[in-house]
Amino acid sequence: MSYDVKALRTREFPWAERGESIYLDHASTGPIPMRTRDALAAFGLRRAEPFRLTPDDLYPVHAKAREACARLIGAKPSTIALMTNTSHGVNLAARSLPYGKGDVILSTHGEFPANVYPWIAAAHDRGAEFRLLPLAGDWPDEAALMRAIETDPRVKVVSLSWVSFWSGHRYDIAAIGAACRSRGIHFFVDAIQGLGPLALDVVAANVDVLACGAQKWLVSPWGVGFAYVREELIAKLEPAEVGWWAQATSGDYAKFLDYDARWADDARRFEVITLDFVGFNAMAESIGLLLETGPKAIEAHVTALADRALAFADDTPGVEFVTPREPSRRAGVLAFRTKDVAKSSDRLTAAKVAHSVRTGCIRLAPHFYNTADELDAALALLA
Ligand SMILES: Cc1ncc(COP(=O)(O)O)c(C=O)c1O
């Protein structure tokens, strides 16, 4: 289960092959592969001169984008709603899932704010409690989370990021999803730091709603992403934001003035259109590249890079691997504490290693086209 990384780099990320940057900042912003750049340029030109657009440039593009997202997570296209970012999907969950006064929405400290503020606001409006369990060291206390799921009847929603944006900790979402499902608790997952470097079967994981922006690990432009809503749940959730293409009769121009407000049967009911056709076409191209390369092969590649980083930290005094050691508990976000994080970061920047500093750690985030040599060069600068 592998692929030709050099060929991939040469074809899709030629600047990486030329050594212009060692790009290890996919947890912030992903690069755009050549095929997607070509698609953006060609479609952008047609968009600039709209008389050149064809009907295929419009709604079939959205259908293609939903299909790509669906394939990536093992779901049906009818369960995908295109969204402009992750936050819209978080709001969809926070505003549409059923819970009320006195109920608890459970999460943990260390979450990215995109998965915190919408819940604080929605919980406040409904008189519910948004509860953040404390961390145990750098990672969430999954045993405490499971205990709360199993014993606290007030818990009605569990909301987690699959992979932590700063520590790189990965939840066992299949175990948590199963525990939630057996107790009728709804399970929301922010997948933006996991999907891409990790393969996912969202149905098997018993996720109810999932949100994912595509601007990072799905190597897509800004302003595109998606939400997934479990098939049986779609008809039960009322969209909180209402668009004009979300109804059963949307698409029939003759019926525009009927104002028939019945929702579409599928997850389109959660879309607020007009959505960027150029951008979603690009997202379909980029996800197409991930699918073509193979999500499982990508996972194996990124895991091997992370193993390498762990081995380096074990052998190097003064470099602490903050991310979990166990491969099933990490993804592509790798966090390190060094003797002087600011100096380590300066050295990385001087050597053109794109990285970030989060919560007092150096964050290296390699993806499917990065090489062991690139990672080694970056690691050497941490010591
Ligand atoms: C866990 C997590 N969720 C969400 C986001 C971003 O949210 P959005 O796509 O709404 O900008 C980030 C990073 O920026 C993140 O790390």
Helices assigned H by DSSP within 105-207: 117-126, 142-151, 173-182
What's the gap in Å between 340 CA and the centre of ligand 1? 27
Closest ligand 1 atom to 90 CA? 10
Protein residues with CB under 6 Å of any ligand 1 atom: 85-87, 112, 114-115, 161, 165, 190, 192-193, 213, 225
Return per-residue pLDDT of the chain as tens, 383 residues: 699 999 999 999 999 999 999 999 999 999 999 999 999 999 999 999 999 999 999 999 999 999 999 999 999 999 999 999 999 999 999 999 999 999 999 999 999 999 999 999 999 999 999 999 999 999 999 999 999 999 999 999 999 999 999 999 999 999 999 999 999 999 999 999 999 999 999 999 999 999 999 999 999 999 999 999 999 999 999 999 999 999 999 989 999 999 999 999 999 999 999 999 999 999 999 999 999 999 999 999 999 999 999 999 999 999 999 999 999 999 999 999 999 999 999 999 999 999 999 999 999 999 999 999 999 999 999 98
Indicate the SS3 state at residue 102: coil
Between CA 267 and CA 227 the distance in angstroms is 9
Helix axes 277-293, 59-73, angle to 10 degrees: 30
Q: Are 319 and 223 in contact (CB under 8 A)?
A: no
Straight-line distance from the first to the last Cα atom of the chain, in angstroms, rounded to the nearest whole number: 32
Which pTM value belongs to this model? 0.98
Sign of the alpha-carbon dihedral angle for 162, 165, 168, 169: negative
What's the gap in Å between 318 CA and the centre of ligand 1? 30
Ligand 1 pocket, mutate which of 85, 86, 171 (most atoms under 8 A from CB): 86
Nearest protein Cα to ligand 1, atom 2: 112
Q: Any idea how long the chain is? A: 383
What's the gap in Å between 241 CA and the centre of ligand 1? 20
Closest ligand 1 atom to 85 CA? 9
What's the gap in Å between 213 CA and the centre of ligand 1? 7
Residue 83, strand partner residues: 225
Per-residue pLDDT at 383: 86
What's the gap in Å between 96 CA and the centre of ligand 1? 20
What's the gap in Å between 88 CA and the centre of ligand 1? 10
- DSSP-assigned states of every residue in 308-344: HHHHHHHHSTT-EE-S-SSGGG--S-EEEE-S-HHHH
Ligand 1 pocket, mutate which of 112, 164, 173, 333 (most atoms under 8 A from CB): 112
Closest ligand 1 atom to 165 CA? 16
Helices assigned H by DSSP within the chain: 5-12, 14-17, 34-48, 59-73, 86-96, 117-126, 142-151, 173-182, 231-234, 277-293, 295-315, 341-350, 372-380
Domains of the chain, CATH where assigned: 5-31+294-380 (3.90.1150.10), 48-292 (3.40.640.10)
Helix axes 86-96, 117-126, angle to 10 degrees: 20
Per-residue pLDDT at 302: 98
Nearest protein Cα to ligand 1, atom 16: 165
Per-residue pLDDT at 1: 67
